């Protein structure tokens, strides 16, 4: 018997399996669509992040610019320190000169006053 009860049962089982497979396939398609939307969102976020990094990169100071400006500032500070040292030395010499002049005038006045009495 080719068309026996087993064949009918087998066809029913196959139809059930086919229905389950079609349902699973529809779920897989829906999941693929959801994952695709999520992937597109993530890629858009990555693109925005990459653009933000590229935009900010122009705001950062390069090493070459830093080194150049740092060297120029170091030279300015060095020249200001030298000018201050020169000024300190001149003021010291001026102070010594005034002290000597004051001592000479005071000594001269004391001597003059000693003989005038």
pLDDT (0 to 100) of residue 1: 44
Structure tokens at 13: 């089982």
| pTM of the full structure | 0.45
Give pLDDT, residue 3: 61
DSSP assignment letter at 62: P
Euclidean distance between CA atoms 2 and 28, whole angstroms: 37
Q: Which of 14-23, 26-35, 104-113 has the lowest mean pLDDT?
A: 104-113
Give the Cα separation of 13 and 8 in Å (integer). Answer: 9
Per-residue DSSP letter, 2: -
Average pLDDT for 7-29: 91
């Amino acid at each position: 018997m080719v068309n026996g009860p087993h064949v009918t049962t087998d066809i029913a089982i196959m139809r059930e399996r086919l229905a389950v497979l079609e349902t699973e396939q529809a779920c897989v398609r829906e999941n693929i669509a959801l994952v695709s939307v999520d992937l597109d969102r993530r890629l858009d976020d990555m693109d925005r992040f990459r653009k933000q990094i590229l935009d900010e990169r122009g705001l950062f100071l390069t090493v070459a610019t830093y080194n150049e400006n740092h060297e120029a500032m170091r030279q300015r500070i060095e020249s200001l320190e030298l000018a201050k040292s020169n000024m300190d030395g001149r003021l010291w010499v001026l102070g010594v000169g005034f002290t000597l002049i004051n001592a000479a005038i005071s000594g001269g006045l004391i001597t003059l006053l000693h003989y005038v009495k």
